[in-house]
């Protein structure tokens, strides 16, 4: 896809944003300021790319769908033995690409920069990404494909057992995720923001954070991996009361043709059983 001036500006803004990302959560205010700038730039940029599509330069006409992900989120995406991103989302987007008749290429990047990169560095993003109103200002979403909720991981001997117990605590999250946003609303809690969820979990095991808030399925994977050291709470339980979330593929704003192709392909994969096969292969195995 075309690299626009907006994309270059955006890349510059992102560098600044990354530089401001501490893992101590103290830079939150500065970050959300930058995020607003990013939103405006990216909106302008995706607007442009949607126009480009209608002029025959989009993924549907060039035959390549460049997909962004963050392969730090098993079982949806992780780096496979061959060093390439693998997982449910990767299999799903490849199946979608096949239905549409485009080649799928995958770019592994920071989760926090996926949304802003749509329309410039990447065409779409699939990354266990929850549909949120804030993201909808910058991108469109496909039909939802998976239901999720945040889980809370704590050390096996922790006394934390409710949302109230999280007040004032140091909580590990992956930067820019819905888990991160939940911590913003917990009284006096500090978000320790990591680029990789596994680093948050390792700091929990080292005693550097009191809890980790992360989506259900990755929480289960990490819970299984470190089962003698940690325990999990279902955030949907009354003790925590977190809301249900829905994953969808993030798409360039206003590209209705691409959205229709993706949604039609998704519907067909659900219809013909492929989707359920992938669920049992990657998620419920």
Is position 77 an interface residue for ligand ARG (rule: CB under 6 A)? yes
d(CA 63, CA 41): 26
Q: 149: which 2 tokens? A: 């909720």
Interaction residues for ligand ARG, span 87-116 (CB under 6 A): 111
Is position 178 an interface residue for ligand ARG (rule: CB under 6 A)? yes
d(CA 35, CA 30): 9
Is position 66 an interface residue for ligand ARG (rule: CB under 6 A)? no
Helix ranges restricted to H, the chain: 5-19, 28-54, 59-62, 88-100, 114-117, 133-136, 178-184, 197-205, 216-225, 256-271, 274-278
Instruction: Compute the least distance from the CB of residue 41 to ligand ARG, in Å.
Output: 20
Contact 137, 253 (CB under 8 A): no
Interaction residues for ligand ARG, span 248-267 (CB under 6 A): none
Q: 102: which 2 tokens? A: 């485009």
Cα torsion through 84, 86, 90, 95, rounded to 10: 100
Pick between residue 97 and residue 128 the one whose CB is nearest to ligand ARG.
128
Residue with tokens 């590990």: 172
Contact letters (x/-) for ligand ARG, 17-56, by CB under 6 A?
A: ----------------------------------------
Contact 130, 207 (CB under 8 A): no
Is position 215 an interface residue for ligand ARG (rule: CB under 6 A)? yes
Q: 12: which 2 tokens? A: 């510059």
Instruction: Compute the least distance from the CB of residue 148 to ligand ARG, in Å.
Output: 6
Q: 216: which 2 tokens? A: 């259900």
The only residue of 127, 152, 173, 258 in contact with ligand ARG, by rule CB under 6 A: 127
The one segment of 69-77, 164-172, 187-195, 200-208 that binds ligand ARG by CB under 6 A: 69-77
Is position 174 an interface residue for ligand ARG (rule: CB under 6 A)? yes
d(CA 176, CA 27): 13
Is position 282 an interface residue for ligand ARG (rule: CB under 6 A)? no
Pick between residue 60 and residue 126 the one whose CB is nearest to ligand ARG.
126
Is position 70 an interface residue for ligand ARG (rule: CB under 6 A)? yes
Footprint of ligand ARG (CB under 6 A): 70, 72-73, 77, 111, 127-130, 174, 177-178, 215, 245
């Amino acid at each position: 896809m075309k690299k626009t001036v907006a994309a270059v500006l955006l890349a510059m803004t992102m560098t600044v944003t990354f530089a401001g990302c501490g893992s101590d959560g103290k830079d939150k205010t500065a970050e959300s300021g930058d995020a607003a700038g990013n939103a405006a730039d990216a909106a302008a940029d995706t607007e442009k790319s949607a126009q480009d599509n209608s002029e025959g330069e989009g993924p549907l006409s060039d035959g390549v769908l460049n997909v962004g992900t963050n392969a730090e989120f098993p079982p949806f995406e992780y780096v496979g033995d061959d060093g390439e991103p693998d997982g449910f989302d990767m299999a799903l987007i490849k199946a979608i690409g096949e239905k549409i008749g485009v080649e799928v290429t995958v770019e592994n990047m920071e989760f926090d920069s996926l949304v802003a990169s749509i329309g410039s560095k990447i065409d779409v993003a699939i990354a266990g990404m929850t549909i949120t109103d804030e993201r909808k200002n910058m991108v469109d979403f496909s039909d939802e494909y998976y239901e999720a909720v945040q889980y809370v991981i704590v050390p096996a001997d922790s006394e934390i057992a409710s949302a109230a117990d999280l007040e004032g605590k140091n909580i590990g999250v992956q930067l820019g995720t819905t888990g991160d946003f939940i911590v913003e609303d917990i009284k006096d809690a500090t978000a320790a923001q990591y680029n990789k969820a596994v680093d948050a979990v390792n700091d929990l095991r080292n005693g550097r954070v009191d809890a980790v808030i992360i989506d259900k399925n990755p929480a289960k994977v990490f819970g299984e991996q470190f089962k003698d050291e940690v325990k999990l709470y279902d955030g949907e339980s009354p003790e925590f009361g977190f809301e249900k979330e829905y994953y969808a593929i993030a798409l360039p704003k206003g590209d209705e043709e691409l959205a229709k192709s993706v949604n039609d392909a998704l519907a067909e994969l659900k219809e013909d059983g492929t989707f359920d096969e992938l669920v049992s292969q990657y998620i419920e195995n």
